[in-house]
Amino acid sequence: MTKQTDIKERIRKSYTKLPASQRRIADYFVDHFDRIPFLNVQEIAGAIPSSDASIVRFAQRIGFEGFKELQEEIGLTLQHRLRTGGLFSVPASQAAADDLLTAVARQDVKNINETLEIIERERFEAAVEAIMRARHVHTAGLGISYLLAEVLSYQLTQVGVPSSPLRQGPLVFAEQVLYFRPEDALICFSFPPYSVETIETARFVHERGNTVIAITDKMTAPVTFSASLSLLVKSHNMLYTNSFAAISVVINALSTACALKDKPRAESIANDLNELTRSTTILP
């Protein structure tokens, strides 16, 4: 039984003994389990809605000294999940199905499972540390890899890591990297057919002495030879393009790990973004 299951089992066992107001809190914690480490007690109370004191009492009712202890345990649970990974499967009810949706899902599940097996956790941790050390993280890729680069950059920015994608347009990648600082890092997405521009950009940045992280499909992919470290992700697809299901898992894991490494910064950015959203939203 994992730590995540332990915590949720504690909540489940206490649920019927909780008053209605505390059950709403329990429901929120279960439904938003992955977000709890990034929220403070006031934000959770406001979302339910409830009171700060009720959140603390809920944590105590399920066996913790207070909210902070419960929050930290959930954070450790997420870190444990990143280190060990759980294997996924298509639901048994669909295992014998012969429709296209199930076939595509089965392939994506296979990609995720194989990715969890081949990514070395030490390399993953090293990538997270390199991202955290960087003054600014640049991401790069062409085609569907450009979209993935934008998503990673966006998610890193959301947790307080300064990041931006190299833009497609008149200014090619090689010209944009001329403005890199020595403390900057580059994350390249490179999947078949491997873009020459992405490969050459990685080589140029590597030769300048910057950290280069490659996210690609095999250790012999051209971009790996210019990378400080590589994260291998399976991207097999039924079409001629690459599937991005497993790649999305790695993107989410990197941004989540960075948030957990510096929770105060991630919380501060989240609060600022929420305040900005409220101040720029036109209410009906």
Tens-digit pLDDT profile for residues 211-231: 999 999 988 889 999 999 999
Check whether 284 has a pLDDT greater than 70.
Answer: no
Q: How far, in Å, are 76, 81, 153 from residue 266 at the CA level?
A: 16, 19, 15
Highest mean pLDDT among 22-31, 82-91, 169-178: 22-31
Extents of the domains making up the chain: 3-83, 94-268
Q: What angle do CA 168, 240, 221 make, to 5 degrees?
A: 65
pLDDT for 143-158, tens place per residue?
889 999 999 999 999 9
Cβ count within 10 A of residue 158: 17
Check whether 1 has a pLDDT greater than 50.
Answer: no
The larger pLDDT score, comparing residue 86 to residue 224, is at: 224
Chain mean pLDDT for the chain: 86
Q: Identify whether the C-beta of residue 224 lies closer than 8 Å to the C-beta of residue 98.
A: no
Query: What letter does residue 41 receive in the DSSP assignment?
Result: H
Residue 90 — very low, low, confident or very high, per pLDDT cuts 50/70/90? low
pLDDT value for 93: 55
Query: Could you tell me the two tokens for 194?
Result: 């491997």
The CATH T-level fold of domain 94-268 is: Rossmann fold (3.40.50)
The CATH T-level fold of domain 3-83 is: Arc Repressor Mutant, subunit A (1.10.10)
